[in-house]
Each structure stands twice: as C-alpha cells, then as structure tokens.
Amino acid sequence: MRCPFCRNRGNRVVDSRLSSDGLMIRRRRMCSACKRRFTTYERVEEAAPMVVKKDGRREPFDRAKIIAGLKRACEKRPVSMETIEQIANSIEATMAEQGDREVASSAIGSAVMNELHKIDQVAYVRFASVYRSFKDIDEFMHELEDLINQRKQASAPRAAGDKKGDGAS
C-alpha cells in the first residue's frame, strides 16, 4: 500500500475498525517516511455482474461510477460521504444478492433514484434529470409535481391527526 502523499510503500496500521454494516474494515495507517496518516478500506471482492447499457454494450459493474453519480447529485446538499458510501454499499449488495451474471443499467439507476428519494429530494431530481434524460421542461415539471403530490400525501395524515388544528407539532 503506497502512501497517497509521498508514494512510499512503508506504512503501518494504527487502528482497525469494522464498519457499521460489517461489510468493510476501515484501517488508519501511518506512513513510515512522511509520518502522515491515511485511511484505507478493505472489502471482500465478489464476482461483480456485467452491466448491460441502454445501447446493448456490456461493461463490468463499477461501484465508483455509482459513487460519482451520487456525488454529482448530492453536490452542495446536506448529504454526507458516509451516506453516499452506504447507498453504494446497499446497491452493490443488492446486485450481488440477486446473483445474476448481468444486470440492466436501468435497474441500477432505479435503485439509486429510490435511495435518493428517501434522503434528499433535490438530489433525487438532479439525478433523475440526467438518468431519465428529460427532453423538455414539461417532463421535468411532471417529475416535480409528482414529488409535491407525494409530500402532500405524506403530510396529510399528520395534519388530520393534529389536535390543535394549526398544523404545528
């Protein structure tokens, strides 16, 4: 393992911890040359499925692409890197559990959208605008209207059960 700062190969593990989901080991390392610390993650390498793209091309599953898409969608949003990593882990685990040798890119995109919808609706709309490649503003507005309607439906039971009747909790 090379130090990301000075590229020296000599380092030692200072601390090791199991991730909260139990799927990774986080290791804090210290370079023997420059004495700086850095973090590495150790995961079991599983046989990743091939991803079938919209145009029929096939390429290996790449977790880094999911993280890159999530980072773009969540840019300047209150979504931590830990949450982005958890989403990527969840999607990767789901694909591995299915055991299919091939998975459609649309299935991965849908899984990302489902997760983003739960955590940040702005990030969800950003991702959806690229993933669904909206042709015009009408398609974009339709997606926003769906989000607004879902929010109204989710808050309607709370407002109806409010004893004060002012909507405040």
Average pLDDT per block of 10 residues along the chain, 169 residues long: 94 92 90 96 78 91 93 94 92 84 90 90 85 74 80 66 47
pLDDT score of 158: 54
Are 98 and 60 in a shared domain? Answer: yes
Q: Are residues 38 and 57 in the same domain?
A: no
Contacts of 34 (CB under 8 A, 6+ apart): 3, 5, 6, 8
Residue 14, domain extent: 8-44
Q: Based on the domain organization, do 39 and 59 belong to the same domain?
A: no
**Residue 98: per-residue pLDDT:** 82
Q: Are residues 111 and 81 in the same domain?
A: yes
The pLDDT, as a whole number, for residue 169 is: 42
pLDDT for 165 equals 46
Domain count, the chain: 2
User: Are 51 and 129 in a shared domain?
Assistant: yes
Q: What's the pLDDT at 46? A: 65
For residues 103 and 96, what is the distance between their CA atoms, to the nearest angstrom? 10
- Does any domain span residue 164? no
